[in-house]
Structure 1
Amino acid sequence: MNFTSPFSLTIVLITALAFLGLPIGLSMIVGSILYLFLVGADMGTVAEQFLNGMYSNYIILAVPLFVLAAEFMNIGSMTERLLNFCNVLVGRFRGGLAQVNVVQSIVFAGMSGSAIADAAGSGRMMQNMMTRDGRYTPSYAAALTAVTSVIGPIIPPSIPMVIYALVSDASIGYLFIGGMIPGLLMALLQMVQVAITARRKNFPVEDPVPLRDIPKITWQALPALMMPVVLLGCIYSGITTPTEAAALAAAYALAISVVIYRSISLVAFYDALKTSSKTTASIGMLIAGSLVFNYVVTIENIPETLRVLLTGWDLSPIGFLILVNVLLLLLGCVLEGTAILLIIVPVFIPTAQALGIDMVHFGVMVVVNVMLGLVTPPYGLLLFIMTNISGAPVRDIIRDALPFLGWMVLCLALITFFPDLVLWLPRLTGYQG
């Protein structure tokens, strides 16, 4: 490899700027401009790639709308009512409040599509509930909230799956359906680990909810519980596209919070718009940077070069998937998930297609892998978010999260070796892959 080539210098510049603290999206834009300057290409190409990628792709619009839906849920009382309902389901078992943490992640997974939104919203409330009166240590509550938040983008809707669909042209609807069983499987394995730890550490048993209160709690939570039903029903019935369904999700969350729960003030509404705008801007800048950088990667013919290289290794489809998993797990330790989906994954797609690997199966596997990176040290964005929320040292949170990571890697292995765990439901709905 020529370390003085334009592409090498571009990679060095992007890496250096990122380590110096510049957002990775801006780093990629600056690095790509350097590349175009060195090879004598038209500088207007940067703006062209930015505009064509950001403003002509309808799929991207789903991202800010799902973010906005999550914000409306967090500022309303939907979160509290859903947690009360989850407590009815599993709160009476040993370690019941810890089991509630897992179940609420399943429920919220059908609404926000974002692990960070789940951790910052319902996760903050779960942290307070679990540590009240010393029931659980702050580090265990934070670790559990971090690992359960990973379920959110696996069970539909899912912002990472929308981004994967952007770079792969895979069907968003079938990706959403394909994530259901893996997401539920991961939640089941997490509940098994909670049960094991609860028995070993003698976790407390919560007071059971009186039977007379169950109908009232269920009724209060019903409008919020109907949100994923309405959302996914509209997508899979063909009434709306996934992007239109994201708009519907935001409108539904706002309507329920304002009209039925009456829990949103004008100040809170403004703050939700401001927060979602900031989040959307950061994601949009990352997408813009990746689109420009991917143009550079295309000029260098790297996807085709990698395909030829891997073909020369004579890898089987399973061997290729194992290699991708290992590489993504390692990259997840140091890179942000969206960056991996936008920069690294497109390089693997031509090889996966050449080997006959189904794009929906590959996409769900990649998203699960990327989500593991959110709780994998040293980067682990969710670990740092929960450190800020809980005040517990990050090393203690990592220690308590490690047993869950083992189960989550097992879940990743199962969906890698058994594609039908992903493809069975999509095929029931007409998928021909």
Structure 2
Amino acid sequence: MNLASPFSISIVGITALAFLGLPIGHAMIAGSILYLLLAGLDMGTAAEQFLNGMYTNYIILAVPLFILAAELMNIGSMTDRLMAFCNAFVGRFRGGLAHVNILQSIIFAGMSGSAIADAAGTGKMMQQMMTKDGKYPPSYAAALTAVTAVIGPIIPPSIPMVLYALVSDASIGYLFLGGVIPGLLMALSQMVIVAIDARRRNFPVEPPTPLRKLPRVTLQAFPSLMMPVVLLGGIYSGVTTPTEAAAVAAAYALFISVVLYRSVGFSDFYRSVLASARTTASIGMLIAGALVFNYVVTVENIPHSLSVLFTSWDLSPTGFLILVNVLLLVLGCVLEGTTILLVVVPVLIPTAQSLGIDMVHFGVMVVVNIMLGLVTPPYGLLLFIMTRIAEVPLRDLVRDVLPFLWAMIGSLALITFFPALVLWLPRLLGYQG
């Protein structure tokens, strides 16, 4: 690569601006405009790409709607009732609260589609429950909350899968289905680590919920438990598109919280809308920057050049998937996941397609990789969030996260080498890939 070329200077500019503290979305827009200027192209193309990408992609609307649904669940009593339901079934085992943490993440994953929403919402509650009366070390509770939040965007719905569908044209519905078994596999790996730690560290056993109370606890949580059914049922029955299903999810969460549970007032609703708007604006700027920078990448013909390079290496599909896993795991240590998804992954897709790799399998594998990046040192965003919530040193948190991280990487290897783990459910419902 010519280090004095407009593209090289653009990359240096984006990197420098990001290191100076400018949000990565803004840095990509600035670097792309610099490229257009140096290359003698119309700088108005940046605005054109921004507007066309943001306002002609109906699928992007699903992102703010899923975020709003998660916020509405957090401010209501839906999460409290779900927590009581989980505790009734798995709290009685040794390390029961740790298993509750994992189970609630599986259930909450079917509602929010966001790891951050999971950690910031139910994560705070689980941290308090696990550390009360010194039952669990604060760093262990925080580590478990961080790794269980990773499950959220793998089991449907999933905001990262929506963004992957945006850059790959893969079916959102089949991507959602493809994430179910990998998400459960990761949860199982976490439960195995918890079971080992519970015996080794003598974690407490919670008082069992009497059997006579199970029907009442289940009934109280039933409206919340029905949300994934309403959401996914609408998509797979063909009644709603994924974007429309996201709107239904937000409306259902509002209805349950306001009408059935009566736990949300107007001020709570206003704050949730405001928080959703802030998060959406942040993600929106990142998407906008990626759309503009992807135009630059296309003009430079980077995807084709990489495809030719990989072809010259004579990689098999399995070899390519291993290379992508290593690349994304390394990038996940230093880059934010959405940036990887919107900037790096589109460059890899043409090669994956030329090697005959299924786009649903590839998408789920990519999303799992990106989620692992959230708990991978040194950058892992969930690590920083949990250090603030739990007020524990980062080094202690990382120490307790690592066993779970290795177990989840093992699950990623299974997903990579056995595509049927991803594709079985989609094929069961008609996927032809």
- Superimposed CA distance per residue, residues 34-72 of structure 1 (whole angstroms, 9 cap, x where no aligned partner): 000001111110110000000000000000000000000
* Matched ranges for 1:263-278 at <5 A: 263-278=263-278
Q: Distance in 1 between matches of 2:70 and 2:59?
A: 18
Name the structure 2 match of 1:79.
Answer: 79
**Structure 2 residue 419 is matched with structure 1 residue 414:** no
C-alpha displacement at 1:419, in angstroms?
Answer: 0.3
Q: Distance in 2 between matches of 1:14 and 1:44?
A: 19
User: Which TM-score applies when normalising by structure 2?
Assistant: 1.00
Q: Distance in 2 between matches of 1:427 and 1:209?
A: 39
- Superimposed CA distance per residue, residues 372-417 of structure 1 (whole angstroms, 9 cap, x where no aligned partner): 0000000000000001100011110110000000110001000000
Q: Which amino acid aligns with 1:3?
A: L
Name the structure 2 match of 1:404.
Answer: 404
Q: Which amino acid aligns with 2:279?
A: T
Name the structure 1 match of 2:28.
Answer: 28
* Matched ranges for 1:280-291 at <5 A: 280-291=280-291
Report the number of matched residues: 433
> In structure 2, the residue corresponding to 1:111 is in which secondary structure?
helix
**Structure 2 residue 151 is matched with structure 1 residue 160:** no
For structure 2, the residue ranges without an aligned partner over 5 or more in a row are none
Name the structure 2 match of 1:306.
Answer: 306
C-alpha displacement at 1:3, in angstroms?
Answer: 1.0
Name the structure 2 match of 1:226.
Answer: 226
Q: Distance in 1 between matches of 2:330 and 2:209?
A: 44
Q: Distance in 2 between matches of 1:318 and 1:196?
A: 32
For structure 1, the residue ranges without an aligned partner over 5 or more in a row are none
Identical columns (%): 78
Name the structure 2 match of 1:120.
Answer: 120
**Structure 2 residue 430 is matched with structure 1 residue 430:** yes
Q: Distance in 2 between matches of 1:17 and 1:84?
A: 47
Name the structure 2 match of 1:16.
Answer: 16
* Matched ranges for 1:199-214 at <5 A: 199-214=199-214
Name the structure 1 match of 2:237.
Answer: 237
Q: Which amino acid aligns with 2:393?
A: P
Q: Which amino acid aligns with 1:221?
A: A
C-alpha displacement at 1:124, in angstroms?
Answer: 0.6
Name the structure 1 match of 2:42.
Answer: 42
Root-mean-square deviation (Å) = 0.5
> In structure 2, the residue corresponding to 1:324 is in which secondary structure?
helix
C-alpha displacement at 1:167, in angstroms?
Answer: 0.1
Name the structure 2 match of 1:326.
Answer: 326
Q: Distance in 2 between matches of 1:315 and 1:214?
A: 54
Name the structure 1 match of 2:130.
Answer: 130
Q: Distance in 2 between matches of 1:179 and 1:214?
A: 30
- Superimposed CA distance per residue, residues 293-321 of structure 1 (whole angstroms, 9 cap, x where no aligned partner): 00000000000000000000000000000
Q: Which amino acid aligns with 1:41?
A: L
Name the structure 2 match of 1:292.
Answer: 292
C-alpha displacement at 1:140, in angstroms?
Answer: 0.4
- Superimposed CA distance per residue, residues 63-83 of structure 1 (whole angstroms, 9 cap, x where no aligned partner): 000000000000000011000
**Structure 2 residue 383 is matched with structure 1 residue 371:** no
C-alpha displacement at 1:343, in angstroms?
Answer: 0.2
C-alpha displacement at 1:89, in angstroms?
Answer: 1.1
Q: Distance in 2 between matches of 1:89 and 1:180?
A: 21
Q: Which amino acid aligns with 2:200?
A: R
Q: Distance in 2 between matches of 1:334 and 1:185?
A: 26
C-alpha displacement at 1:139, in angstroms?
Answer: 0.4
Q: Which amino acid aligns with 2:77?
A: S
Q: Distance in 1 between matches of 2:166 and 2:321?
A: 21
Q: Which amino acid aligns with 1:184?
A: L
Q: Distance in 2 between matches of 1:414 and 1:276?
A: 35
Name the structure 2 match of 1:67.
Answer: 67
Q: Distance in 2 between matches of 1:138 and 1:394?
A: 12
Name the structure 2 match of 1:104.
Answer: 104
Q: Distance in 1 between matches of 2:211 and 2:330?
A: 49
